[in-house]
Chain A
Amino acid sequence: MGIWIMAGVTFREAARKKMLWMALGAGGAFLILFGTGLHFQAKDFAAHGMSPVLRREISFTMVTMGLYAVDLLAVLMTILTSIDTLSGEIASGTIQAIATKPLPRWQVLLGKWLGFCGMLTAYVAIMVGGVNAVTYSMAGVTARHLLRGLSLMWMESVVLLSVTFAFATYFSTLTTGVLTLGLHGLAFLGGWIEQFGAITQTQRAVNVGVIASVLMPSEALWRRAAFEMQSPLANAMRISPFSTLSIPSVSMVFYAALYLAAALGIAIRRFSQRDL
C-alpha cells in the first residue's frame, strides 16, 4: 500500500510542479516540428518524382531520426526529473517526516521509482507513438518491430532512472547528475568508437565500445532498438548514421536487465541502511 501512495505522490508532484505538462508540451512541440519537416519532405518526394523504394527508405530514415531525438529527450528527461527526488529530500530533511511513518524504507524508494517509471513509460510511449503516427500519416511508414524498439528505448530510460536512484542514495543532487550523465556520455562515446571500429574493422576499438556498454548499457539498448526499428535495407547497407554497424547482442539486453535490477537493488539497500 505504502508503495502506491509514494508512487501516486511522485506522479502528483510532477503534475503539480508542472514538470509533467512541460515535458508533454515540449514533446508536442517536437512532434509538430518533426511533422512539419516530414510534410515538406513528402511534398518533395512528389515534386521530384522519387522512386517508391527510395521514398520509403528516406521515410524510414526520418522515423529513425525522430526516434533518435526522442531517445535523447527521454534520457535527459529521465535524469533531470528524477535527479533531485531522493538526494534533494535527504539534504532538505523532507524525507524525515516520510521515513518515520510505518512503512519500510524500501517501499518509500520503490514507490518513488515506480512513480517515475510510470511517467517515463507514458512519455516514451506518447513520443514514440507520436513519431510513428506522424510518419504513418504523412509517408505511410512506421518503424519496423515498433514494440520491440519501444521496449528497448523504455528499458534504456529505466536503466538510467535506476542508476540515478542508486547514485542519489550516496551523493548530492549535483554529483548524482554529473555521475549519471557522465556515465551515459561514456556509453555514448563508447558506442561511436564501436561503430567506427566496425567500419574500419578495428577489433580493439570495437572492444572499447563493448567495455563502455558493460559499464553503462544505456547506449547499447538504443543501438539495439535502432537495429530493430530500421528498415532491413538500411541495416544491410550499413550506412545509417543511427548505428547498426556493430549490433549489441540479445545477451547485452539481458545484461542491461540485470544491470537495471542491480542498480535498483543497490539503491534500495543503501537507502534502507543509511542515516537520514
Chain B
Amino acid sequence: MSRTSDLAIRTRGLRKVFSGKVAVRNLTLDVPRGEVFGFLGPNGAGKSTSVKILLGLVFPTGGEAQILGRPVGDVKTRSQVGFLPEHFRFYDWLTPAELLKLHGRLYGMSHAKLRERVPVLLDLLGLMPHRDKRLRDFSKGMLQRIGLAQALLNEPDLIFLDEPTSGLDPVGRRLVRDIIKAQRDRGATVLLNSHLLGEVEITCNRVAFIKDGEVLETRQLNDKLEEQTTVSIRAANVTAEIASGLSQWSRSVRAEGERLTLSVGSGAVVPEIVRYLVSSGAAVYEVTPQRLSLEERFLEIVGTDGGL
C-alpha cells in the first residue's frame, strides 16, 4: 500500500447525493504520484462529479478525499493543480494570450513568468496564428486547445483533464497524447476522464472502471502478462477429460472441433496450459493469446447498457 504522501489522489468512501439522487456512491481510489490514470465509465457513472469533488467545485455528502496530501478544497494546493473542464467555457471576449495571463495571475504567477510562459504554450498548442482572435471566434477544437494551455500554465503537479480530446481532430488528439506523455515524463500526475478508450489505452498507466459512483475495478495497462487474456488453441486429440482439466485455469472453455477458446485471468498461465496439453497427449499446433481490448474489458465490466 502506498503512503499517503506518495499519492496524488486518495479517496475513501466518497459519496455525493444531489436532491436524493446518488451521483457518487462509494468511491475509494488511490492514484500514486507520477501516474497517468484513466477514469472510465458510462455516462452518468459519476466520473465528472468525482473530478469536481476532487477539485473542490462540488462538496461531498460523505467520505473523505485528498489531493497532493491535502484535503480537497485546500486553497493553497490549487496552485499545484491544473484543470481542463469538460465544457471548456471561458471568457470569450478575451484573446488567448489575455485568457492565459488572467488565469496565470489568478495562479499568482509573476508578469515576467507569464511573458515567458504564455508564448511557449500558445506555440505548443498551435494557437500562435490565432493569438489576436477573440475566443468567441474560436472553433470547439481551438477552445479545447486553449483550455489545455490554461491547465498547463502553472506547470502543475496534478492535472485533471475532463474529456480533453472530445472536440479535436486526429492531429489534435495526437498532440494531446504527446502533451500528456510530456507531463508524465516531467513527473506530473494526470487524471484523464475520457470516453475515447483507444486514447486511454495508449496514454494511461492504469485505469479505474467506475459505474454508479463506485470503482468496479482498477487495472494496470502496461503489464500485459497480468491482463485478462483470451487464449485460442488449435490442438488435436483433446478428449473431454483433457478439456475439463483446463477449468483449473479458466472458467470459460469453449471447444469447437480442434479449436479451444479459453478466457484466463493472466497471460502468465499460457505456458502452463501448453505443458498440460502436451503432457496429456494432445497435439498442439497453435496457441494464440488474444489480449482483451480495453473496450471489450470495459463492456465486460460495466455492461452494455451504456448508462444514461
B57 contact set on A, CB distance < 8 A? 96, 99-100, 275-276
Chain B interface (Cβ < 8 Å from any Cβ of A): 18, 52, 55-59, 75-79, 81, 83, 85-91, 93-94, 102-103, 105-108, 147, 150
The answer to whether A97 and B108 touch (CB under 8 A), given A13-B91, A275-B58, A276-B57, is: no
For the complex, count residues of A whose C-beta is within 8 A of B.
22
Within 8 A of B (CB), among A55-106: 92-94, 96-104
Shortest beta-carbon distance, B110 to chain A, in Å? 12
Chain B residue at minimum C-beta to C-beta distance from A5:
B105
Q: How far, in whole Å, are A9 and B106 apart by their CA atoms in the complex?
A: 11
Chain A interface SS verdict (over half)? helix
> In this assembly, does A17 line the interface, its C-beta being within 8 Å of a C-beta of chain B?
yes
B91 contact set on A, CB distance < 8 A? 9, 13, 94
Shortest beta-carbon distance, B16 to chain A, in Å? 9
Q: Which of B78, B88, B89 contacts A101 (CB 8 A)?
A: B78
The answer to whether A97 and B103 touch (CB under 8 A), given A102-B75, A102-B78, is: yes
Q: Which of B58, B78, B106 contacts A276 (CB 8 A)?
A: B58
> In this assembly, does A43 line the interface, its C-beta being within 8 Å of a C-beta of chain B?
no
B58 contact set on A, CB distance < 8 A? 275-276
Q: Which of A1, A17, A273 contacts B93 (CB 8 A)?
A: A17
> In this assembly, does A265 line the interface, its C-beta being within 8 Å of a C-beta of chain B?
no
Q: How far, in whole Å, are A239 and B162 apart by their CA atoms in the complex?
A: 65
Shortest beta-carbon distance, B176 to chain A, in Å? 18
Chain A residue at minimum C-beta to C-beta distance from B81:
A100
> In this assembly, does A129 line the interface, its C-beta being within 8 Å of a C-beta of chain B?
no
Q: Which of B55, B75, B106 contacts A5 (CB 8 A)?
A: B106
| Contact in complex: B107, A93 (CB < 8 Å) | no
B56 contact set on A, CB distance < 8 A? 99-100
| Contact in complex: A97, B76 (CB < 8 Å) | no
> In this assembly, does A185 line the interface, its C-beta being within 8 Å of a C-beta of chain B?
no
B78 contact set on A, CB distance < 8 A? 100-102
Q: Interface code A1-45, partner B: CB below 8 Å = 1, 0 otherwise?
A: 110010001000100110000000000000000000000000000
A99 contact set on B, CB distance < 8 A? 56-57
The answer to whether A93 and B108 touch (CB under 8 A), given A100-B55, A100-B83, is: no
Q: How far, in whole Å, are A129 and B102 apart by their CA atoms in the complex?
A: 34
Q: How far, in whole Å, are A93 and B55 apart by their CA atoms in the complex?
A: 14
Q: How far, in whole Å, are A195 and B57 apart by their CA atoms in the complex?
A: 48
Shortest beta-carbon distance, B94 to chain A, in Å? 8
The answer to whether A97 and B75 touch (CB under 8 A), given A102-B107, A275-B57, is: no
Q: How far, in whole Å, are A102 and B103 apart by their CA atoms in the complex?
A: 10
Question: What are 10 pairs between A and B in contact, CB < 8 Å?
Answer: A2-B106, A5-B106, A9-B91, A16-B93, A100-B55, A100-B78, A102-B79, A275-B52, A275-B59, A276-B57
Q: How far, in whole Å, are A249 and B280 apart by their CA atoms in the complex?
A: 104
Q: How far, in whole Å, are A99 and B72 apart by their CA atoms in the complex?
A: 13
Q: How far, in whole Å, are A81 and B46 apart by their CA atoms in the complex?
A: 36
| Contact in complex: B83, A97 (CB < 8 Å) | yes
Shortest beta-carbon distance, B56 to chain A, in Å? 7
Shortest beta-carbon distance, A7 to chain B, in Å? 12
Q: How far, in whole Å, are A17 and B77 apart by their CA atoms in the complex?
A: 34
Chain A residue at minimum C-beta to C-beta distance from B57:
A276
Chain B residue at minimum C-beta to C-beta distance from A103:
B106
